[in-house]
Amino acid sequence: MPELPEVETVRQGLLPAMENRRISHAEVRRPDLRWPFPPRMAERLTGARVTALGRRSKYILASLDTGQTLLIHLGMSGRMTISGDAPGSFHRDHPLRDKHDHVVLTMDSGARITFNDARRFGAMDLIATPAVETHPLLAKLGPEPLGNTFHAGVLARAFSGKRAPVKSALLDQRIVAGLGNIYVCEALWRAGISPMRQAGRIGQARLETLTQTIRDVLAEAIEAGGSSLRDYRQADGELGYFQHRFAAYDREGQPCRTQDCDGVIERIVQSGRSTFHCRRCQR
DNA sequence: ACCAGCTCCTGCTTGC
DNA sequence: TGCAAGCAGGAGCTGG
């Protein structure tokens, strides 16, 4: 499911169709996803103009001229795609509805934005804009990994004394926001750090390296339009391409790509999640 | 406080 | 074109 690069790619794809556009019609086709939708969501969205389309961690935030902000989370299988009579449309010739099309926003341009989520782990909420930062889903998030407030000192402080494996620590959204299973595996491989290593036992120099590999892998993935494994699509329906550049994730049994390393990528399970790593060059 | 495991849901892949 | 088990990118909750 969508991690930070996928959500950012979707946001960028939605931007021309949504920003400074008015929602002329909102259709909400079921009462809930992971949680119930906020009361009267369709009515509250209808007529609102989207003044900005932002992102925090894996959440898309649409600021509305009604003083509210629409929070969108794609969960594991959520898609936001554009269709209808608009540039960048997805399936312009196949406007048929899917049974997992849960919310459809029709913009004043004629573009339709469809939220499709087979597994329904996604979520939407409407928040008074001044209260966005204190929303329960956002309040405890750590720094944005591509922002200025993320640096090795942040990791050093957060990891200090931590006995949990660094893999688990990086998945903790309170430490750094937006990483998921794929990009944690990739960043640790690039940094040459074992996913099993206790977070509190990584030296300063290696934390500097890790900070940089996290930034690099996320930026490259955004550049490639994200990673499409199963459900993920960009807003225009295109696949992402970063999966072709995975060095660790989903490469069990394949040769490690580190220069001069003759190791093999192994799959282990940590906290119930697959981890892919090379035990020879990740220490 | 910390951490591992379970859970929500559907659908795809794998093994019989 | 059968069936059941296992697995999947998130993240809140429970209980040790």
Protein-to-nucleotide distance from the CA of A158 to the C1' of B9, whole angstroms: 33
Residue-wise pLDDT tens digits, A68-95: 999 999 999 999 999 976 556 665 445 5
The arithmetic mean of pLDDT across residues A108-117, rounded, is 95
- Residues with Cβ < 8 Å from A66, sequence gap 6 or more? A44, A48
The amino acid present at A38, given as its one-letter code, is P
| Interatomic distance A101 CA / B10 C1' (Å) | 13
* pLDDT confidence of residue A97: 81
- A30 and A107 together in one domain: yes
Question: What amino acid positions of A are annotated as catalytic residues?
Answer: 2-3, 58, 273
User: Which of strand C's nucleotides are less than 7 A from any protein C-beta?
Assistant: 7-12
Overall pTM surpassing 0.75 (yes/no): yes
Q: Show the tokens assigned to A46.
A: 């209808």
What's the CATH number where A10 sits? 3.20.190.10
Shared domain for A185 and A256, answered yes or no, is yes
A121 touches strand B (CB under 7 A): yes
Q: How far is the CA of A119 from the C1' of C1 (A)?
A: 26
In a domain, A283, yes or no: no
**A179 and A274 in one domain?**
yes
Rounded Cα gap, residues A52 and A55, in angstroms: 10
Q: Is residue A183 part of a domain?
A: yes
- Average pLDDT over all residues of chain A: 93
Across all strands, nucleotide nearest A117 (CA–C1') = B10
CB atoms within 10 A of CB A35: 12
Domain of A98?
A: 4-134
* Residue A67: per-residue pLDDT: 98
What's the pLDDT score for residue A86? 59
pLDDT in tens, A195-223: 999 999 999 999 999 999 999 999 999 99
In a domain, A141, yes or no: no
C-alpha to C-alpha distance for A49 and A113, rounded to whole angstroms: 14
Asked if the structure places residue A196 within a domain, the reply is yes
Residue A240's alpha-carbon distances to A10, A15, A78, A79, A118, in angstroms, are: 10, 17, 15, 13, 19
Q: What is the pLDDT of residue A85?
A: 65
